[in-house]
């Protein structure tokens, strides 16, 4: 936890994901923690705050999610591009030191038995809503967001401030083959501006 990390009201938590960033999924069970990257995470509802995330059956993190029923979705930054790629391409099965080797540092939040990744711009503590058919047939997990926080240097008062924050705090948007895009220019519109 750092001095810039502050709670986000749950009815604004969807805004942390609304622009479609690639995320990190972390989970812990019985003393084992893991972190993976996921491009397929998406807001699902405002209130109760919910999201979906696709967790492949081969992912070690999925086992921890299934066993603990909980996980954290966090939004990594441009400064974490190497870490994000590494946790997406290394497996805890092949590399027991995956987290250290990927440059991941974890921290705890009081009241949450979950591993949080240092240096992200947002964190969403989630509880799985069991939907066995979705999980088995589609690798699709539905979860309720129980708490959310942001780094207020880049998300505060319910809005991202990428256009004024350090560019190293921008979100990452993965495509394939090691290619990410950073989020770009802010564009405003509305009834008076659209013609």
Of residues 66 and 139, the one with the C-beta less far from a copy of itself: 139
Of residues 95 and 108, the one with the C-beta less far from a copy of itself: 95
Give the DSSP H or E segment for 74.
Answer: strand 70-75
> Taking CB under 8 A as the rule, does residue 57 contact a copy of itself?
no
Of residues 15 and 98, the one with the C-beta less far from a copy of itself: 15
**b/e sequence 110-137, b meaning 16+ C-beta within 10 Å:** eeeebbbbebbbbbbbbebeeeeeebee
- N-to-C CA span, the chain: 45
Binding to a copy of itself by CB under 8 A, coded x per residue (else -) over 61-90, reads -----------------x--xxx-xx--x-
Q: Pick the binder of a copy of itself from 7, 20, 58, 96 (CB under 8 A).
A: 20
d(CA 191, CA 69): 43
d(CA 191, CA 195): 8
Number of residues in contact with a copy of itself under rule CB under 8 A: 58
Of residues 29 and 173, the one with the C-beta less far from a copy of itself: 173
DSSP 97-130: THHHHHT--EEEETTEEEEEETT-SEEEEEEEE-
> Taking CB under 8 A as the rule, does residue 141 contact a copy of itself?
no
Of residues 28 and 154, the one with the C-beta less far from a copy of itself: 154
User: Cβ–Cβ contacts within 10 Å for residue 23, how many?
Assistant: 29
Which residues are at the interface with a copy of itself (CB under 8 A)? 15, 18-22, 39-45, 50, 52, 54, 78, 81-83, 85-86, 89, 103, 133-134, 138-140, 142, 158-160, 162, 170, 172-191, 193-195
């Amino acid at each position: 936890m750092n001095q810039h990390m502050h709670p986000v009201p749950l009815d604004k938590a969807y805004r942390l994901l609304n622009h479609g960033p690639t995320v990190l999924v972390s989970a812990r069970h019985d003393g084992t923690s893991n972190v993976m990257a996921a491009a397929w995470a998406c807001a699902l509802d405002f209130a109760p705050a919910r999201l979906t995330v696709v967790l492949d059956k081969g992912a070690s993190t999925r086992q921890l999610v299934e066993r603990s029923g909980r996980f954290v979705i966090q939004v990594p930054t441009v400064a974490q591009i190497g870490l994000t790629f590494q946790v997406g391409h290394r497996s805890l099965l092949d590399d027991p030191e995956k987290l250290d080797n990927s440059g991941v540092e974890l921290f705890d939040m009081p009241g949450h038995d979950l591993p949080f990744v240092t240096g992200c711009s947002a964190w969403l503590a989630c509880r799985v809503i069991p939907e066995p058919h979705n999980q088995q047939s589609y690798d699709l997990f539905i979860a309720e967001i129980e708490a959310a926080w942001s780094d207020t240097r880049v998300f505060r008062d319910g809005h991202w401030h990428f256009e004024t924050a350090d560019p190293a705090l921008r979100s990452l948007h993965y495509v394939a083959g090691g290619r990410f895009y950073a989020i770009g220019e802010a564009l405003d519109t509305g009834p008076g501006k659209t013609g």
